[in-house]
Amino acid sequence: MTIREAGRALRDRKVSSVELTRQAIEQIERLNPTLNAFITITAESAFERARQADAELAGGHDRGPLHGIPIAHKDLFLTRGVRTTGGSKIYENFVPDHDATVVEKLDLAGAVSLGKLNMHELAFGITSTNPHFGAVRNPWNPEHIPGGSSGGSGVAVATDMVFAATGSDTGGSIRIPAAYCGVVGLKPTYGRVSRYGTIPLAFSLDHMGPLARTVRDAALVLNAMAGYDSRDPASARRSVIDFVPEDHCEIRGLRIGVPERFFFARLDPEVKTAVTAAVARAKDLGAEIRTVDLPDIEALITAGMVIQFCEVAAVLEPHLAARERFGKDVLALVDQGRFLSGPDYVNAQRLRRQAQQDFRSVWKEVDCLMMPTTAISAPRIGEARVCIGEYEEDIRSASTRLVRSFNALGLPALSMPCGRSAAGLPIGLQIVGPAFGEALVLKTAAALEYSVIVPR
Amino acid sequence: MSNRIDWKAIAKARGLEIPAADLELIAPRLDALEEAFRPLARALTPDQEPAPAFDAERDGE
């Protein structure tokens, strides 16, 4: 059931928010012991909120499409009175006295939060194999990772524990779990969704966004999340439009860029086949497919990594006296940032600006870009390296190298399912648009959604 | 430990308290980043300014 279908059923009195919440809690009770998507389940407050939602609807107070809909938050969004761990030992007993802006907004929109979702420690990693709160497991095969860092979000949405979830994306952390779990994940433009009240990883690369089962559901959640917030210094004063694509949206004449160099090199053959088929489907729907050569992505990725390492080290340096409180992989990444200098950070920002300027010419040639989200489907838990053809690659690199550059550029990027591997694991298609072009990205995704193989 | 850059000496000079085993683990990654980043940084010209994080209009409110 989609959010829109649930909303219709709620308004037709065919179901209540309390019933939807009960179904969701039952699903969590059934699956969470295996998949470990939730760190904290707030069933009691969820039922209270659901009862309120039902009473409001009965009294004619309709908050909109998310009214009475069960959702959950990645455990780095601050929630008043509810423990917010960031998946870390550092914050294991942190109970905020206020909500993140996104939490506030979704609450105002009537959504019913069922709790806080497990994640990669401090959002700094892609496995969601959390050393403090346990490994999150892929619902398509529990021996595999769900991706990360928003791993719990991807799993909760994919398994119908919730209709939608919040996530954060600093180097692919919404899109990677969306791809590995077979759901839709959108990293909006930098500044589109407030970061206020989230545990930061890297200030200039952190993006907040939705994960949902369908493109239109993701758009509905974005509608509620987006908007200017004076409490976030990077928040954009862009007016919020209705991001939900119309029912029979068309992409005829749309110029879709396919960056073959870099983005289609070194791919698992099954990923390449599925994404190529999705591009062909877009062509069948009337889009004009153009091969494009993007500015130096490798340089941008390197600059982005230097920026991320420096910003992370700045944030976490005060906690490093207690090294035993960090997982080994996160600690290694944090330590790397401590070797970089002030000039390194400035130079990386100079490279980033150059790339942003160079990228403007891309949007003169095409309206959006289409490529794989990840080079592989979800690896096994504990696997450090994968073979892609004759290449052996670190799974972190194989998971992030196609998504990371769009964080440094701040561009909207969506991952949607476009097929499955022979092993039954989902494959993600990534669609990228110009800054504040979320509506176009969502429309393109919606046009393709029911014409490519969607794993359910 | 990498023989290209003495990360242990750099850690000591900067007062970074990182256990030897942890440093051993990250040295190859530091080398790789150095190899990728340094040529790019050297190629920058004076007219290439950083991406500003500070917005004078907004922050001056």
Q: Tell me which chain B residues have a C-beta less than 8 angstroms from the C-beta of A347.
A: 40-41, 44, 50
What residues make up the domain containing A372?
255-292+367-449
Per-residue pLDDT for chain A (456 aa), expressed as one digit of tens each? 999 999 999 999 999 999 999 999 999 999 999 999 999 999 999 999 999 999 999 999 999 999 999 999 999 999 999 999 999 999 999 999 999 999 999 999 999 999 999 999 999 999 999 999 999 999 999 999 999 999 999 999 999 999 999 999 999 999 999 999 999 999 999 999 999 999 999 999 999 999 999 999 999 999 999 999 999 999 999 888 999 999 989 999 999 999 999 999 999 999 999 999 999 999 999 999 999 999 999 999 999 999 999 999 999 999 999 999 999 999 999 999 999 999 999 999 999 999 999 999 999 999 999 999 999 999 999 999 999 988 999 999 999 999 999 999 999 999 999 999 999 999 999 999 999 999 999 999 999 997 765 555
pLDDT of residue A456: 54
Boundary of a domain, candidates A352, A376, A395: A352
Q: Tell me which chain B residues have a C-beta less than 8 angstroms from the C-beta of A354.
A: 48
B1 inside 8 A of chain A by CB: no
Q: A209: exposed, middle or buried (C-beta count within 10 Å: 0-12, 13-18, 19+)?
A: buried
**Do both A372 and A340 map to the same domain?**
no
pLDDT of residue B30: 97
Comparing CA positions, the residue from A145, A215, A183 lying closest to residue A440 is A215
pLDDT of residue B51: 79
A316 inside 8 A of chain B by CB: no
A397 inside 8 A of chain B by CB: no
User: Within a domain: residue B19?
Assistant: yes
User: Within a domain: residue B44?
Assistant: no
Cis peptide upstream of residue A149 (ω within 30 degrees of 0): yes
CB contact under 8 A, B53 and A203: yes
**Do both A210 and A283 map to the same domain?**
no
**Contact by Cβ (8 Å): A306, A345:** yes
B55 inside 8 A of chain A by CB: yes
Residue in B14, B40, B59 closest to A303 by CB: B40
User: Within a domain: residue A238?
Assistant: no
- Return the half-sphere exposure (C-beta side, CA atoms, 13 A cut-off) of residue A98: 9
User: Within a domain: residue A248?
Assistant: no
Q: Which tokens sit at A87?
A: 């998946």
0.80 cut: is pTM over it? yes
Domain count, chain A: 3
Q: Which tokens sit at A192?
A: 């589109």
What residues make up the domain containing B25?
1-33
Nearest chain B residue to A346 by CA: give it: B50
**Do both A171 and A64 map to the same domain?**
yes
Phi, psi of A223 (to 5 degrees): -50, -40
Q: Tell me which chain A residues have a C-beta less than 8 angstroms from the C-beta of B48.
A: 350-351, 353-354
User: Within a domain: residue B6?
Assistant: yes
User: Within a domain: residue B46?
Assistant: no
How many residues would you count in chain B?
A: 61
pLDDT range class, residue B52, cuts 50, 70, 90:
low
Q: A80: exposed, middle or buried (C-beta count within 10 Å: 0-12, 13-18, 19+)?
A: middle
CB contact under 8 A, A335 and B49: no
**Contact by Cβ (8 Å): A432, A406:** yes
**Do both A212 and A94 map to the same domain?**
yes
Instruction: Concatenate the DSSP letters of all residues of A302-352 into one string.
Output: HHHHHHHHHHHHHHHGGGTT-GGGS-HHHHHHHHHHHT--HHHHHHHHHHH
**Do both A308 and A202 map to the same domain?**
no
Min Cα–Cα distance to chain B from A215, Å: 31
Min Cα–Cα distance to chain A from B24, Å: 10
**Do both A412 and A372 map to the same domain?**
yes
**Do both A265 and A343 map to the same domain?**
no
**Do both A65 and A210 map to the same domain?**
yes
**A108 CB contacts (<8 Å, ≥6 apart)?**
A63, A224
User: Within a domain: residue A239?
Assistant: no
Domain count, chain B: 1
**CATH code at A204?**
3.90.1300.10
User: Within a domain: residue A361?
Assistant: no
**Do both A308 and A444 map to the same domain?**
no
**Do both A347 and A391 map to the same domain?**
no
Q: Tell me which chain A residues have a C-beta less than 8 angstroms from the C-beta of B15.
A: none
Distance CA A33, CA A20 (A): 21
